Structure 1
Amino acid sequence: MEKKIGLKTLEGVYTPTLLTILGVILYLRLGWVVGNVGFFATILIILLAHVITFATALSMSSMLTNIKIGSGGAYAIITRSLGLEMGGAIGVPLYISQSISVAFYITGFSELWVNFFPSHSQIIVGVLTWAVLSIISLKSAKLAFRIQYGILLAVILSLISFLMGPNLNTNGIVMQGTFEMGSFWTTFAVFFPAVTGILTGATMSGDLENPRESIIKGTIGSILTGLIVYIVVAYWFAHQANQYDLLHDTSIIFKLARVEALIIAGVMGAVLSSALSTLVSAPRTLAALAENHVVPFHRLLSKTNKNGEPFNAIIVSSAISLGVIIAGNLDSLASLLTMFFLTTYGMINLVVFLEQVTGIISYRPSLKMSIAVPIVGTVGCFSVMLLINPVFSVITFGVVMVIYSVLKKRHLASPYGDVRGGIFIAISEWAAQKSAAIPYHPRLWKPSIAVPVEKPEDFKRLTRIIQKLVYPSGRVYYITSHKEAVIDENHDRRIDEVLVPLREKQIFVQKTTVTSEKFADVLVPTLQCLKSSYLPPNIILLTISDDHEKQEKLRNMVYMVKPLKISVGCLWLHPKFGMGNERTINLWLRDKSPNNDLAILCALQLSRNYDAELHLCRVISAESDRRKTEEDLMAFIDEARLPANTKLRVMKGEFKALMNENGADLNIIGMPYDFESMLRIIDSSSSSILFVASGGLENALV
């Protein structure tokens, strides 16, 4: 069993998060920001940046008071709301960014070191620093974070030294900027990475004694502390240095210090702290991904040692960072890494927004807030991404979607319920209310087929033609009965198996099972219930058997469903030829038949999905009617927008004989008024037939 390290708020969240915020930008870029845009605009930049991060922290805090978070921090929050696929799509780039960030921090530290000790090799300094930090992270997270107390002291002393330093400004406070080195938003993009370390402590969620309380208090506390420090330091830069020096000397802070060595220690300590905290937190993200089988070698990477440390994940993370250090300068990737962090923050805000708008009762956090908070956080994060680098923003979203697609295909089993179903339910409820207020019009018609089935095997032989009838946007309702109230798993699995081909085509499929000794007794009540649903069926598809007993059952079914005013289709599949070559469809239209519209719409669906040739057929009683009938049918083809290759067949003679003479793979015919006539047509047919009777909801001309 994993041993609980039990980090407290101060050591596990507040200190590492604050030290990540008070990094290189505070010391080496804030002065330039003040020189470029002036003190007033700098305050606006600081406030805007902190509004986004503070909104993210509040959103995260709200989620933490609603769920029991395990290991993984931000990844865990996103996973529990949007599922393993989206959690992994965000978590994998986040982990890679964390691992590479370690190398950036160490490289930054070694560059500073070589500036003060030019005779030393930067690569050797980097590798030695990496080795020391890796040993500390392998030893204990508690040790790593307690070392940061000393670094925090160095940062505090450096700030005191800065605030007590000499005044080099003889021109008054730098209130207005020249913007000569960049616009307001360009300067904002330079500054914003300073506040992207707010989830450093949250990533340690699995190692905290009280994750919920520590993450909330520690993160919000560190953000507020950072805000105060940045405002104070920005004012002091504007007060102590002139605009030219601020713009052209990025190391001006060393000249403004009372004791330069303290500034050096503060800068190097802040960078070193960021490297150490990230090196400790990155393996936690990897281990959490491995626990959910998101990454390869998950068994190996999720293991912990006797002290509860994810030893293998630490080794892998350290190896990645070492490889980046040896590879050399990768400054071009810095913006891309910031994008992945911002995507994570944006998704946390989006999660809270979605939880609120869906109205699911399971979302009842102790820390409630206005919906404006996650909106500000979401819009802010994604807007800043576009401001910093639009190209990298697109790349980031592309990477996330590729990973999501890969994970989606793996059908990961999540132990947590997520909010995705609630989102679609909320959308469906909204759509149902809107559509219910709009009167039905035939132009909205699309095939929605109810198929009564006694055994799954009976449905299997119909799967292909049903798919061709409803694809791409129709619906299928599988209706069956079961003698016992409890359906055994084996029977339910067999039903799911025959529905697989439809679901693979992304066709809406709903199965309905009712308890009854006699299927026919419950068919009408079941259809009545379905007709009252939000997405009701509009056609019931029955099959015609050569068995006389089953034909009698079919006669009764057709008679019973007539009062429901639902369209009916009776399909007879030829016992020898079936659907033949699936290349030709004969559509037989009687003049002014009430079934013509449904017959035409079914023929259009089948001819399009089978890629079959459509023949428009009509029987005339006198040869003198031929020309007028052909002209009418040609005009009808144009008005009904039938395929351009539709062929006309106007014939004189007896219908049954003509149907056999003009062979096709499928004949579509309006259903005769009496059942016996339908059976007589079947007896003499050499190909399959679909009889249709309209319920009055179709119009092929709209």
Structure 2
Amino acid sequence: MSNKIGLKTFEGVYTPTLLTILGVVLYLRLGWVVGNVGLVGTIIIIALAHAITISTALSMSSMLTNIRIGSGGAYAIITRSLGHEMGGAIGLPLYISQAISIAFYITGFSELWVSFFSNHSITAVGVITWLVLSGISLASAKLAFRLQYGILAAVALSLVSFLTGPNLNSEGIIMSRALQNGSFWTTFAIFFPAVTGVLTGATMSGDLENPRESIIKGTLAAIFTGLAVYIFVAYWFAHQATQEILISDMSIIFKLSSIKIFVIAGVMGAVLSSALSTLVSAPRTLLALAENRVVPFGKIIARQNEKGEPIFAIFVSSAISLIVILAGNLNSLAELLTMFFLTTYGMINLVVFLEQVTGIISYRPSMKMTIFVPIFGALGCLSVMVLINIVFTAVTFVTIAIIYSVLKKRNLTSPWGDVRGGVFVSIAEWAAQKSASIPYHPRLWKPSVAIPVEKPEDFKRVSRFIQNLVYPSGRIYYLTSGEGIPAENEKQIDEVLKPLQELQIFTQKTTVTSPSFESILLPAMQCLNSTFLPPNIILFTVSDEEEKREKLKGILKSVRPLKISVGCLWMHSKYGLGLERRINLWLRDQSPNNDLASLCALQFSRNFGAELNLCRVVDDENIKKQTVKDMMDFIEEARLPANTKVRIFSGDFKDCLHENNADLNIIGMPMEYEAMIEMIDNSPSSILFVASGGLENALI
């Protein structure tokens, strides 16, 4: 069992976060920003950028006062709310970005070093720097962060040197904007990476003595300190240099300093600090991913030494960064990495937004805020992504979608639960309220079938029939009863419903404890009819056993008071549904069941890919021609398949049924139960009898 490192707020959160914010942009880009958009424009850019990061920090703080965060920082927050799949889809690119960022920081340090010591090899400097930083990271996270006190002092001295340097501006403070090298929003996109390190300290959540308090206080303090420094340094650039100098010379800060070596130390220290902070924090993200089995070899990567250091995660992160260092110039990936950081920040805001709008009682943070904070943060992150590079924005979302789909197939389970169910419940509640205010119309009809079942194997025998009746957008209600539904039966029910669920068919099971199946059927159906999504057909199966047929006769009488359509399926014991190639739809003149029978036949015709025959028996040979015309008109008005055939017969209905074989016959249910049984006994193939509840209209 590893020991907790126990970092304090100042060393574990405030210092690394502040040093990441006060990076290269402060020294080598802020002067150019002032020159391009003027002091007023620069302050607006700084304020907008920090507004987004402050919103993100506030959203994160709100979540931290609602959950016990483990290792992984931002990844842990997203996982706790949106599940392992979405957490992994965000966390994995975030980790890769962190690991590659180590190489970018080290390469940046090497380039600065070589600019002052031109006879040194940039690759050699990079590898040596990597070795030193990796060694510090392996030794102790506490040591790594305490070394940053010296870097913080160097940054402070560099700012003092800058503020006490010479004035090269005789024209007054630069207030106006030139926009010679890019628009306002282009300049904003160039500046924004300066504030993307705000979650550096949060990533150390698993190593902090008091994560909740330290992350909130340390992150917000670092952001506001950085905000003050950026505004003041921007003012000083506008005061000390002309617009032309600021635009043409990116390294003007060295000339504006009283002691150049202090600024050099500050710049190099800031870059080195960012590399060291990321080299310590990236393995913590990987550790959290490994503990949740999101990455391969999770058990190995999640191992920690006796000091609580994730040594294998550090090795992996260091190895990735070394490969990138040796690969050379990968500046083109810098924008893509920024996208993954921004996506993480946006998701934190989205998490808080979803937690608030769903109204789940488990979300009761001690630090509450208006819903506009996460909305602004999320929209701000998305807007900045589009401004920086719309193509990379699309690549980012596609990457996240691919990772999510892969992780979804692994059926990762979370012990904390997540908010996704609450989101869908809220949507369903909203939809229920809206739909309840709209009167029902037959054009909204689709098959929603309640199936009373005594045993799971009974359902299994007719599951293909039911599947083709409701697919793709219908619903299935599995209704059963018993004196006590054993767990084994529940498991069997889930197994027979699983193939339908895999086809994205809505299924719902209702189990009622009762010694008599017949006694609970009517009240159970009355309850189902009162739900938001009620069934519109109740389907029974007709047995070949006399005793069960007598039971069914009584059941059919009991459900008559319900305003629901009824179906009775008799499956031929030998042929079943046959080859599923031919369906005979028997329509009586002016029958109230014709619409339901036609819609059911249409479902089977589509899903089987079967030939559909419209059949009618007439008493008078002289009306056959008119009947054919009427049936053809019905095909057109009901928009039945173009290859639907019309077949008109004369004589006894039972004889016609027996002589004209099909894989499935669909017939309006006769008034007398005995007449239905007589048809069954004379039929060479399966029959579905339907009795309409008046909810259907095939002509709409």
Q: Give the structure-2-normalised TM-score.
A: 1.00
Give CA deviations for 1:54-86 in whole Å, capped at 9, x if unaligned. 000000000000000000000000001001000
Q: Which residue of 1 aligns with 2:9?
A: 9
CA distance in 1, matches of 2:487, 2:311: 42
1:561 to 550, 559, 572: 559
Match of 1:147 in 2: 147
Pairing 1:428-507 to 2, within 5 Å after superposition: 428-484=428-484, 487-507=485-505
Q: Does the 8 A contact of 1:463 with 1:501 survive in 2?
A: no
Distance 1:308 1:520 in 2: 63
1:552 is aligned, of 550, 559, 562, to 550
Residues 165-180 of structure 1: pairs in structure 2 closer than 5 A: 165-180=165-180
* Residues 189 and 388 in structure 1, CA contact (< 8 A), matched pair in contact too: yes
Name the counterpart of 1:509. Answer: 507
Match of 1:341 in 2: 341
Q: Distance in 2 between matches of 1:182 and 1:653?
A: 88
Where in structure 2 are the equivalents of 1:178-257 lying within 5 Å?
178-257=178-257
SS in 2 for 1:378: helix
Q: Report the AA paired with residue 298 of structure 1.
A: G
Note the C-alpha offset of 1:248.
Answer: 0.8
- For 2:361, the equivalent position in structure 1 comes to 361
1:86-129 C-alpha deviation (Å, 9 max, x unpaired): 00000000000000000000000000000000000000000000
Deviation of 1:394 after TM superposition, in Å, equals 0.1
CA shift, 1:563, in A, is 0.5
Aligned residues: CA RMSD: 0.6
Deviation of residue 174 (structure 1)?
1.0
> Are the counterparts in 2 of residues 305 and 311 from structure 1 also a CA contact under 8 Å?
yes
- Counterpart of 1:463, as a letter, is S
2-side partners of 1:29 and 1:172: how far apart?
21
Describe the SS at the equivalent of 2:560: helix
**Correspondent of 2:631 among 625, 628, 633:** 633
Q: Give the superposition deviation at 1:653.
A: 1.4
User: Residue 572 of structure 2: SS of its match in structure 1?
Assistant: coil
Q: Which residue of 1 aligns with 2:673?
A: 675
Structure 2 distance, partners of 1:83, 1:482, is 36
2:78 is the alignment partner of 1:78: yes
The one-letter code of the counterpart of 2:6 is G
Asked if 2 retains the 8 angstrom alpha-carbon contact of 1:303 and 1:311, the reply is yes
* Residue 607 in structure 1 maps to residue 610 in structure 2: no
Asked whether the 8 Å contact 1:279–1:317 carries over to 2, the reply is yes
For residues 336-388 of structure 1, what are the alpha-carbon distances to aligned partners after superposition, in whole Å with 9 as ceiling and x for unaligned? 00000000000000000000000111100000000000000000000100000
Partner of 2:699: 701
CA contact (8 A) 1:46 1:231 kept: yes
**Residue identity in the other structure for 1:294:** V
Q: Could you tell me which of 513, 522, 525 is aligned with 1:524? A: 522
> Which amino acid in the other structure matches residue 124 of structure 2?
I
Deviation digits for residues 531-582 of structure 1 (CA, Å, limit 9, x no counterpart):
0011111101100011000001111111111101211100000011100000
User: Could you tell me whether the CA contact under 8 Å between 1:109 and 1:272 is conserved in 2?
Assistant: yes
Match of 1:642 in 2: 640
The equivalent of 1:401 in structure 2 is 401
In the TM superposition, what is the alpha-carbon distance from 1:660 to its structure 2 partner? Answer: 2.1
Instruction: Report what 2:577 is aligned to.
Output: 579
- The one-letter amino acid paired with 2:258 is R
Alpha-carbon distance in 2 for matches of 1:660, 1:192:
79
Map of 1:19-418 to 2, 5 A cutoff?
19-418=19-418
* Residue type at the aligned position of 2:90: I
Distance 2:49 2:622 in 1: 84
SS in 2 for 1:564: coil
Task: Kindly state the Cα deviation for residue 654 of structure 1 after the two structures are TM-superposed.
Answer: 1.2
**Following TM superposition, by how much is the alpha carbon of 1:488 offset from its aligned partner in structure 2, in angstroms?**
2.6
Amino acid at match of 1:691: F
How far is 1:177 from its partner? 1.4
SS in 1 for 2:671: coil
Structure-2 residue corresponding to 1:425: 425
Q: TM-score, normalised by structure 1?
A: 0.99
The residue type paired with residue 243 of structure 1 is Q
Check conservation: 1:73, 1:203, Cα contact below 8 A: yes
Other structure's SS at 2:267 match:
helix
TM-superposed CA distance for 1:414, in Å, is 0.9
What residue identity is the alignment partner of 1:152? L
Partner SS for 1:5: coil
Q: Secondary structure at the match of 1:563?
A: coil
Letter in 2 for 1:495: I
Question: In the alignment, which residue of structure 2 is the partner of 1:589?
Answer: 587
Provide the C-alpha distance between the structure 2 equivalents of 1:93 and 1:158, rounded to a whole number of angstroms. Answer: 34
Structure 1 consecutive aligned stretches of length 4 or more whose deviation exceeds 4 Å: none
Structure 1 distance, partners of 2:191, 2:99, is 22
CA contact (8 A) 1:541 1:568 kept: yes
Distance 1:360 1:54 in 2: 25
Counterpart Cα distance in 2 of 1:490 and 1:142: 53
Question: 1:279 and 1:645 mapped to 2: Cα distance?
Answer: 68
Q: What's the CA shift for 1:490?
A: 1.4
Residues 186, 387 of structure 1: 8 Å contact kept:
yes
SS at match of 1:6: coil
Any idea what the Cα deviations from partners look like across 1:207-230, whole Å, max 9, x if unmatched? 000000000000000000000000
Distance 1:100 1:206 in 2: 22
SS at match of 1:451: strand
Paired with 1:214 and 1:610, the residues of 2 have a C-alpha distance of: 63
**Percent of counterpart pairs with the same letter?**
72
Match of 2:658 in 1: 660
Amino acid at match of 2:580: E
Higher mean C-alpha deviation, range 489-498 or range 47-56: 489-498
Deviation of 1:193 (Å)? 0.3
Does residue 689 of the first structure (1) align with residue 684 of the second (2)?
A: no
> What does the per-residue CA deviation read over 1:274-308, in whole Å, with 9 as the maximum and x for residues that have no partner?
00000000000001001011110000011111000
Shift of 1:491: 1.4
Distance apart, 1:663 and its partner CA? 1.2
Aligned-residue offset at 1:656: 1.3
Question: Structure 1: how far apart are the matches of 2:30 and 2:172?
Answer: 18
1:180 CA drift (Å): 1.0
Output the CA distance in 2 between the equivalents of 1:41 and 1:370: 28
AA aligned opposite 1:116:
F
| Residue 43 of structure 1, CA deviation | 0.4
Q: State the Cα deviation string for residues 108-152 of structure 1 (Å, max 9, x = none).
A: 000000000000000000000000000000011100000000000
Q: Specify the SS of the correspondent of 2:561.
A: helix
CA–CA separation in structure 2 for the residues paired with 1:431 and 1:492: 30
Q: Is the 8 A contact 1:598 1:693 kept in 2?
A: yes
Shift of 1:489: 2.0
Of 536, 539, 548, the residue aligned with 2:537 is: 539
